[in-house]
Chain A
């Protein structure tokens, strides 16, 4: 009996190898479980390489992330690593920011330079976030190996800390073990929402550094809370894309999901074993690799000067 591994996907309009899609899901899911990012910035380009149209790849990936982040959130929730209060505030901010970002894109498109701004935002954000995290983790790792004692933070940070302390509407976030103004997660969530909408991604790779550096949440809570927040963002995107653009291939998503949900479960366990600084430096490296790839695409002459309208 020969079992054909190929499956025809009517929405994507292409035939794919089930095992290849399953494996791709597994690898990206593993990263997602370790770092608490949706993995959209990796999965979508890989799907396009496998012959899936860009718009279908992006929308189906959102659908897949819904499942993967459900599984990931559950795994982290059991370990007590989801700050639901914080997640909800970030989410509300993210939704407001996302709607704002969509409007900004519409205005930019009318002005005619949206594509340029999208690409530049992408490269700058990836480069800035990746570079900063990388250097910071490297420093922290050196420091901890030099001396066990923690040194006091430099001047600039204390100003930021004072601002955080004096903002109104202070609230305790027990899971994260921090106390700060309700305004902070809301405003930062909004900022990430705007950027994510402009770039057309879930924003996990911006949200994680924001939680670590600006909200000062412990890394293990950051990952669980980020997945929790991503779950809702991607649910919204999936329904909107399916209803308006018919670009969600749910069979493709389900195949990716089977792989990625298993990967995410393993990832949550691997992440627990790795130290916070190791996690950060790995994520930073990943972000930098994607940045370099994007920069290369911008600088090198493309093989073909025509592309399909749709994706960024």
Chain B
């Protein structure tokens, strides 16, 4: 029964961790995680944003910063060969426990951080994904293909960039991480974690949550499109016709012989 109990306590600890955001977990006082901006405003000007994550880790430790979206279900089509010649959609795939976003930055190349760091990387993430294939080729590595798809969209990324460590102060070292959030972000809650690694062991971790929400004109438009969809459709059509006529008239007055 012991493992179950320990898992329970871990969960409890995690819950407490999330409740007291921003907060600290393992080592030393005053290593709270600070994320700016604390909330992402997706207005008409929004085109992705750089998150600045600051905190401190025990001296000599490396930092890994991870931003993840809420895991959810994803329905995709699988491509395969038909008649040994033509590539087209041959099956449906339902994936569960897929984070919408996963951005990983580290203070050193990830391969140098040892096996412990591997558990925080994209490959580890794909192992936790549930795959349900309907038709299609069973030998295809679906989680790997998902990784490629999400990486191409800029929603999954990992690399040793954007983290700088400051001078030591009383056994702790401050760090600043810059994580570029993609423009194709969905509104919702995102978790920011900072993990301190030293000698292939986790020596500290903190986390914080941030929210991304539509604002201004995009918010108004999105509400209209989803809540009064028929009206929105008619409005879109009428505006298109009026604009078309207006442009036509402008050309008439200019182009009349």
Binding site for B on A (CB under 8 A): 4, 6-11, 13-15, 51, 63-64, 66-71, 74-75, 78, 112, 115-116, 119, 235, 238-244, 246, 248, 250-251, 253-254, 257-258, 261-262, 265, 269, 297-309
Contacts and interface: CB of A to CB of B under 8 A. Distances in A.
Nearest to B218: A10
A8 B184 CA distance: 9
Contacts of A11: 221-222, 225
Contacts of B89: 115, 307
Contact of B86 (A13, A69, A262, A298): A298
Interface in B208-257: 214, 218-219, 221-222, 225-226, 229-230, 232-237, 239-241, 243-245, 247-249, 251-252, 255
A242 B88 contact: no
A261 B244 contact: yes
Contacts of B46: 8, 15
Given A8-B183, A10-B221, A298-B86, A238 B243 contact: no
Interface size class of B (residues with CB under 8 A): 35 or more
A262 B255 CA distance: 12
B149 interface: yes
Interface in B23-69: 42-48
Majority-rule SS of A interface residues: helix
Contact of B248 (A6, A74, A303, A307): A74
A122 B49 CA distance: 41
28 contacts: A4-B45, A7-B45, A8-B42, A8-B45, A8-B218, A9-B218, A14-B183, A15-B184, A51-B153, A66-B240, A70-B244, A75-B251, A119-B88, A242-B230, A248-B232, A250-B236, A258-B243, A269-B255, A299-B85, A299-B87, A302-B79, A302-B87, A305-B145, A306-B145, A307-B79, A309-B75, A309-B76, A309-B92
B158 interface: no
Contacts of A302: 79, 87
Interface of B: 42-48, 75-80, 82, 85-90, 92-93, 135, 140, 142, 145-146, 148-149, 152-153, 183-184, 186, 214, 218-219, 221-222, 225-226, 229-230, 232-237, 239-241, 243-245, 247-249, 251-252, 255
Contacts of B239: 67, 250, 254
A119 B86 contact: yes
A248 B225 contact: yes
Given A11-B225, A239-B230, A306-B77, A6 B236 contact: no
A260 B222 CA distance: 25
A240 B183 contact: no
B230 A71 contact: no
Q: Which of B43, B80, B87, B235 has the most CB atoms of chain A within a 10 A radius of its CB?
A: B87
B149 A304 contact: yes
Contacts of B186: 13
Contacts of B149: 304, 306-307
B62 to A, nearest CB: 32
Contacts of B218: 8-10
A244 B244 CA distance: 25
B233 A70 contact: no
B240 A306 contact: no
Nearest to A250: B236
Nearest to B135: A112
A20 to B, nearest CB: 13
Nearest to A239: B233
A258 B140 CA distance: 44
Contact of B45 (A6, A14, A75): A6
A242 B232 contact: yes
Q: Looking at A235, A250, A298, which has the most chain B CB atoms within 10 Å of its CB?
A: A250
B184 A265 contact: no
A240 B230 CA distance: 8
Contacts of B226: 246
Given A6-B45, A309-B92, A303 B148 contact: yes
